[in-house]
Every structure is written in C-alpha cells, then in structure tokens.
Structure 1
Amino acid sequence: MPSVTRKPQANREERRQQIERRLLEATDRLMSDGSSFTELSVDRLATEAGISRASFYIYFEDKGHLLRRLATQVFADLTEAAQKWWSVADRHDYADAHAGIDGIIAAYRAHQPVLVALNEMAPYDVGARETYRELLDGVADGVTTVIRGGQAAGTIRSELPAATTATALTWMVERSCQQNLPHNPRTYDAELADVLTEIIWGALYLKAAPTR
C-alpha cells in the first residue's frame, strides 16, 4: 500500500507560505500605523506575526529577503485581481476591464505599505529593484496576451506593438497607484479606476467606451 505521508519539502513550502502571509499582514498593520519598513526590527515583525525570531530566520535571510518575498505575495493578489479582466478578455466588455482595474487598485490599497517600502528600497537595493521589475514584467506579460488576443479578434488596434504597449500601460497603472493612493482617501479609488479604465480602453480598443 503506498504511503500517504506528505513529502517534507511540501510541508516546508506550505509552512513557508503560511508564515509569509502572516508576515505580510503584520507588515501591513505595522506600517499602516506609521512605522517605516527600515524602522521595523525582525523581533517586532515576528512578534506581530505570532512567530518566533528563530522561525523567521529559518525561512528568511534578512528583512530584505522578507520584503522581496512579501512583494511576490502582493503581486499574486494584484494578478488575481487583474484576472477579472484577463480571464474574460475575449468578451471585449468595458465592464470587465473596469473590474480588473478596480480590483488592482483595491489590492494596491490593501498592501500599500509593502509596495511603498519596496519602492523606497529599490533605488539602493539591487535585489528589491530586480524583484520589482520582474514582478511588473509578469503583469505586462498578462496584458500583452490580452492585446494580442484582441488584435487577432479584430477588436484591438492592430498597429500597436503589443509588448511595448502592455509595458507602458502596466507602468502607468503602477505609477498612478504608487504616487496617488498614499495621499488620498479611499473615496478617491473609484475615480482613479474610472480614469485608468477610460485611458486603457481608449488606447486599445476600436470600439468606443460606453457613455457613463
């Protein structure tokens, strides 16, 4: 009879993911209270997440390593939000595009402290900078797929270079969130979603956006 015991590697990876999620929530809470990431000690982060200092160092080399892993978690949430559009892009529906942008803004708002910390560290931390670039490239790849699919279907402008356009739009959304959300209340988010969706739709689609 084959053993049903899970492989140690699988258990370790599951444990890592649980700890990363708890540390992400802890970092969001502590930074939302006004602390900067550089001010947060490993002891304080571990205590807030309900883990030991020893457990922290089992999975992370230092705070920089933690931040890179947290960024991966955050971008997983951002990508999940974007799938509200990407997964049904073949419907060519403005409402789907708006739902995707609205979800991205909500995810950015929820994890704003971590993304702000990543932006702050990127200029002088090579690892943070490369991680941020790789994660945004992954988002741009998703948008590229949408653009190429729309071009094949005749709904998106055929003259647009798909990859370059996707990169430009991805960075537009990222910079808009990074520069504006920290300084505006949640009531601003719906307006930003409307504006970004209008810009993206107008740039890509042959069909005009619906009148609001």
Structure 2
Amino acid sequence: MDARRGDVLIAPLERAWPQFNTPLRLGVMASGHGSNFEALVQASQERLHAQIELLVVNNPGCGAQQRAERLAVPCLVHDHRRYSSREDLDRALVDSFRQAGVEAVVMAGWMRIVTPVLINAYQERLINIHPSLLPSFRGVNAVGQALAAGVRITGCTAHLVREDVDTGPVISQAAVPVLEGDDHETLSSRISVQEHRILPWAVALIGERWRSGG
C-alpha cells in the first residue's frame, strides 16, 4: 500500500536492487538541465549496479554537459541542427554508443523524437522518462497539460521507447498530487524528485531482464 509523506505519494520498493556480475554499461541522452542524468550518476554510486559510459547532448553548453564535466563522465555533442534528418542523427548516436560499449540507453530529458534507427539498435533497452502518468498527457508540456485538465493526481513514468511517442510499455511510475495553487514550476519540481527516484529503478529492472536473456 502507498504511504503518504508530505505532498508526495511514496510507493516503497518491495525487493532488493538487482546486482550483476559486472556493472551495466549505460549511455545517456539529454537536452537540458541534466538533473535526471546526475540522478543516474548518483544512483550508480549507490544502489544501481551500473556505469555510465557516455552522455550525449544535442544542445552545446547545456546543463547536462556542464554536469558531465563536473562529474567526470565522458560527453559528446551531437547537435541535431547539423544533421539532415532524424535518422542521420540517430545513426551517429548508435555509432557513438557502440564505440563506448553501451548495453542500454536512457533518454533522460532528450527533447527530440527518435527513429527506428535507434529504437531497433537498442530494442527493449531504450528507456525514457516522461512527466505524467502515461497514457495520460503524452507529448510535449505534460505538466501544462495536467494543470489545464484540472487533474488532482499526475506523476511520472519510466517506459520502454516505441516509434509512437510515449506509448511504450511502462516499467515504473510514481504518483504526485496536484496541490491547490500549483503552477508549472512547483508541480514540475515535485515531479522531478520522483523522476530521480524511479528512473534508476527502471534501469535496474531492464538491466536484469537484458542480462538474464528475458
């Protein structure tokens, strides 16, 4: 049963974190501030048995790139503006991740639509985090959509990526109440806390499935 702590609904994890013979080798994609990327780095130093081999950003100088420099994580810039198509960008991403020996890829605030080039290269190993309880409020500005709809509970979802945006199988979710007087900033901030919590757990579950051949 969920327990309530402050203004966030907490569903405690019921099992131990998966451990592997060797750490999962992760690639991460980010476009903005990079807080989910840093949460993955922190989790990999604690309960998530993984190593982030490479961060790729598409916006030069973005917060995620700055965090990578501070955290000593290898980072490449693949500016989407320099590619003639989404497929060309994704081919470059796949090449970079393969050269880094990446097993699974996490879209941690990647603000670009990906194509089958990337999805098929990391089939069942490409994870996205989205700030809503999917299937509600797919696409851009999910927080704004929730506020406009007047819902009383929203949250975040970690899911596998499919070609249709935000439609892949759910791996983990967290519920966040919409409080009286919430605006985009306050609600986004509380959702972000839960994203940092469920994303590493989702990565661990997918890693366990991949390593076991499931």
Range class of TM-score, shorter chain: under 0.3
TM-score by length of 1: 0.27
Question: Which structure shows the higher helix fraction?
Answer: 1
| Higher Rg of the two aligned structures | 1
